[in-house]
Structure 1
Amino acid sequence: MRESADERHDRLLELVREQGSARVSDLAGQLGVSPVTVRRDVETLAERGLLDRVHGSVSWPRSAASTAGAGAPPGGGGLVIGLLAPSATYYFAEVIRGAHDAAAQAGARLILRISDYRPKEDKARSEGLLAAGAEGLLIAPGWQAAGDQAAYGDWMSELPVPAVLLERQPALGSTLDDMDRVCSDHRHGVLLAVRHLVGLGHGAPLLVARADSPTALAVRAGYDEALGALGLEQPRPVIDSVPAELDRGRFEEAVRAVQTAVTTGGVTAALVHNDVDAIHLVQRLAELGVRVPEDLALVAYDDEVAALADTPLTAVAPPKRQVGLYGTRMLVERLSTGPRGRTPEPQDREHQGRQEPGQQEPGQHLALLPRLHVRDSCGATAPR
């Protein structure tokens, strides 16, 4: 299968992180692409603050290195935190940035590894972080399918250091359900979208969604709950969405299904996961005579690039940066107070306030609420 731009960006970032700095020409050879492609990728990543550029070379951001010790060698002093993320671009770029900021505030060094959404590699990548000196881990596993946790997640319950899950909610009652975690409450995000569309006078919106990530699965589950909470009936079965660049045929099937729902089924509103799919969908629907927002009010989910569409898209924005920020703070606090279930040593208590002997630190599950950013695609300038 042809490598996507996001996958190539992740490989490029991993190479630069490991090497500290690299020439563009060398990266082209290592990635197996042309120097023109690498220069374009570097420009994109530098604009996002993920790389620094100088005279034909790139380096890991100096801001992160100077404030959080990211460029220091292992064992150079200060707390070392490892972050495992499935991607360093779409969605998770903001999570990583929030973790960087919190690490800098704590005087800690943050080191990053990318799994490229290959859950089989999560354990090995985390072992690499531990070998590099990580004293605690922030983990966003590369799960995609519903069964990935059961197949590839048990190792996290046996980690020798404290860990915090990011943007992942393990199955209730599983061994991972006891782990600290910080997540976006996607159910609440979907409810915001549905309630907004209904408040504008539409019936229950159609859901067009992927099924290839934990966020996508949470959006689907949240859709059913939102309809139930608002007393609405599902207008049509969920339309499965796939990236247009990966499977043009299946993408076209999804577009035609939406067109039919609008022209013959009386559907006037839709919620689409994710932004990129929503932009492609709007463009293709326009070619088929279905206009947004005149014929179809539309809300996207993720709010990464929704504002940049020809018709700026109303979108649900999960608090991605805050997930990384609060997750890192939670981990730093855990590292400062000792493992859960252990009473801190007497000399540690002065750093955390008074604590009775035998008292245990409780685990934490922190849910952060998404926000709805209203733009032109709903035909309204503000929610009612």
Structure 2
Amino acid sequence: MRESAAERHDRLLALVRENGTARVAELADRLGVSPVTARRDVEALAARGLLDRVHGQVSWPARHAAPSVAGSAAGAAGAVRAAGARRSGEGLVLGLLAPSATYYFAEVIRGAHEAAANAGARLILRISDYRPEEDRARTEGLLAAGAEGVLVAPGWRGPEDRPAYGDWLAELPVPAVLLERRADPGSPLDALDRVVSDHGHGVLLALRHLLGLGRGTPLLVARGDSPTALAVRAGYAEALATLDLTAPGPVIDSVPADQDPAGFEAAVRALHEAVASGRAGAAVVHNDVDAIEIVRRLAELGVKVPEDLALIAYDDEVAALADTPLTAVAPPKRQVGRHATELLVERLTETGQEESARRHLSLLPRLRVRSSCGAPGGVHPA
């Protein structure tokens, strides 16, 4: 994917902030762009007051915070104290780093934007495209653009990304709230405020509903390429233990049909075999898009939903638009963005001598019942 100008500016600002000063030719080399492009970027950032430029060299403005996210928090602390003097969020600048601006995170961003507007604050956005190695530079860009506090959903893809690309978040010189991401217990990130969906509860809702329909223990068909997917898998194991059940078979690895046709076909065939053999009469599928494609392919193989297989999708982004509208677990995405923003504004406007306790807020998903499980429709709360 081609890098946008905003992303390149973030990387440039991060390089200057880290080193204090840099020559334009050096920046061009480090960024992998032509000297003309680097010079044009420097001029644009200097015009916005984000850099000082003198004789082919740029430097981090002395009026801004010191040149590293972790280092010299004095300037940022002063900004936070000034913000703390406000009794509302009016005039605040908030930063939001998200791994995507579409699908799941579109609603999270929308909720954050609504809450910022209600508080009189301005929200600025950076997208990482699930490249956790770019998260720090993107956040540097938010700080350079004036963010006084940040909402961060790191672009982690697997469990190995959390320790590799996470600890720097705990060193930020401004308040930070984690969005839809959990930290390892006892890690530096565990001391941050966070707002998340309780995906384990969402999976438990789905299993209890399918069991109540007399369909037997459901299989899980799930991706493994995002924190949400991993949380759904962990929630499935916890739900089975809570309900004292044994899975009718191993978790079936799901992959996007357009990216890995062979892997997708293997997942469909595994689910088809489980239904045909009588091992499974129900399934939970993460996510909606995969579930729609799976239902379509199963029909071609002679398996009907919900007659032969009761199915619940996870995410509820497009589940209602399927030929057979899919029952789905709906995480409270917009509320996550809203509550996280309200928490960040509260942090930035605290006026007491003692900072309030940090919070880990878990919001409960709902189950939206449609045609794919063979039950009357409606919304089932937690």
**3-state SS, counterpart of residue 112 of structure 1:** strand
Is the aligned partner of 1:234 residue 2:247? yes
Is the aligned partner of 1:109 residue 2:122? yes
User: What is the alpha-carbon distance in structure 1 between the residues aligned to residue 170 and residue 241 of structure 2?
Assistant: 35
- The 1:187–1:12 alpha-carbon spacing in structure 2 relative to 1, beyond 3 Å, is farther
Aligned amino acid, residue 368 of structure 2:
H
Match of 2:153 among 129, 135, 140: 140
Shift of 1:266: 2.8
Q: Deviations over 1:221-263 (max 9, x none)?
A: 0001111111111110000000011100000000000000000
Match of 1:166 in 2: 179
- The 1:89–1:141 alpha-carbon spacing in structure 2 relative to 1, beyond 3 Å, is same
Match of 1:332 among 330, 333, 345: 345
Is the aligned partner of 1:381 residue 2:376? yes
**3-state SS, counterpart of residue 303 of structure 1:** coil
Q: Deviations over 1:258-295 (max 9, x none)?
A: 00000014310000000000000000000000110010
User: What is the alpha-carbon distance in structure 2 between the residues aligned to residue 12 and residue 88 of structure 1?
Assistant: 17
Is the aligned partner of 1:288 residue 2:301? yes
Q: Deviations over 1:7-35 (max 9, x none)?
A: x9x969989xxxxxxxxxxxxxxxxxxxx
Match of 1:210 in 2: 223
Match of 1:150 in 2: 163
User: What is the alpha-carbon distance in structure 2 between the residues aligned to residue 360 and residue 379 of structure 1?
Assistant: 51
Is the aligned partner of 1:251 residue 2:246? no
Q: How large is the RMSD of aligned CA atoms in angstroms?
A: 1.9
What percentage of aligned pairs have identical amino acids?
A: 71
**3-state SS, counterpart of residue 182 of structure 2:** coil
- The 1:255–1:13 alpha-carbon spacing in structure 2 relative to 1, beyond 3 Å, is farther
User: What is the alpha-carbon distance in structure 1 between the residues aligned to residue 5 and residue 220 of structure 2?
Assistant: 35
Alignment of 1:249-288 (within 5 A): 249-288=262-301
- The 1:96–1:14 alpha-carbon spacing in structure 2 relative to 1, beyond 3 Å, is farther
User: What is the alpha-carbon distance in structure 2 between the residues aligned to residue 251 and residue 244 of structure 1?
Assistant: 5
Is the aligned partner of 1:366 residue 2:361? yes
Q: Give the TM-score normalised by the residue count of structure 2.
A: 0.76
Match of 1:32 in 2: none
- The 1:268–1:11 alpha-carbon spacing in structure 2 relative to 1, beyond 3 Å, is farther
Match of 2:52 in 1: none
Shift of 1:309: 0.1
User: What is the alpha-carbon distance in structure 2 between the residues aligned to residue 280 and residue 242 of structure 1?
Assistant: 11
Is the aligned partner of 1:96 residue 2:96? no
Shift of 1:361: 1.6
**3-state SS, counterpart of residue 283 of structure 2:** strand
Alignment of 1:66-81 (within 5 A): 78-81=91-94
User: What is the alpha-carbon distance in structure 2 between the residues aligned to residue 281 and residue 313 of structure 1?
Assistant: 12
Match of 1:176 in 2: 189
User: What is the alpha-carbon distance in structure 1 between the residues aligned to residue 324 and residue 340 of structure 2?
Assistant: 34
User: What is the alpha-carbon distance in structure 2 between the residues aligned to residue 303 and residue 131 of structure 1?
Assistant: 36
Which consecutive residues of structure 1, in runs of 5 or more, have no partner in the other structure? 16-76, 338-347, 350-356
Mapped contact 2:315–2:331 kept (Cα < 8 A): yes
Q: Which runs of 4+ in 1 moved over 4 A?
A: 10-15
Q: Give the TM-score normalised by the residue count of structure 1.
A: 0.75
Match of 1:321 among 334, 343, 361: 334
Aligned amino acid, residue 370 of structure 1:
P
User: What is the alpha-carbon distance in structure 1 between the residues aligned to residue 135 and residue 311 of structure 2?
Assistant: 36
Which consecutive residues of structure 2, in runs of 5 or more, have no partner in the other structure? 9-89
Match of 2:36 in 1: none
Match of 2:137 in 1: 124
Structure with higher Rg: it is: 2
User: What is the alpha-carbon distance in structure 2 between the residues aligned to residue 11 and residue 187 of structure 1?
Assistant: 36
Mapped contact 2:7–2:138 kept (Cα < 8 A): no
- The 1:162–1:152 alpha-carbon spacing in structure 2 relative to 1, beyond 3 Å, is same
Q: Deviations over 1:136-163 (max 9, x none)?
A: 0000000011110101111101101000
**3-state SS, counterpart of residue 186 of structure 2:** coil
User: What is the alpha-carbon distance in structure 2 between the residues aligned to residue 377 and residue 242 of structure 1?
Assistant: 21
User: What is the alpha-carbon distance in structure 2 between the residues aligned to residue 12 and residue 245 of structure 1?
Assistant: 29
**3-state SS, counterpart of residue 349 of structure 2:** helix
Q: Deviations over 1:113-141 (max 9, x none)?
A: 00000000000000000000000000000
User: What is the alpha-carbon distance in structure 2 between the residues aligned to residue 276 and residue 102 of structure 1?
Assistant: 29
Aligned amino acid, residue 132 of structure 1:
A
Shift of 1:173: 1.1
Q: Deviations over 1:345-365 (max 9, x none)?
A: xxx34xxxxxxx6x4421000
- The 1:147–1:165 alpha-carbon spacing in structure 2 relative to 1, beyond 3 Å, is same
Aligned amino acid, residue 232 of structure 1:
L
Mapped contact 2:371–2:377 kept (Cα < 8 A): no
User: What is the alpha-carbon distance in structure 2 between the residues aligned to residue 308 and residue 324 of structure 1?
Assistant: 24
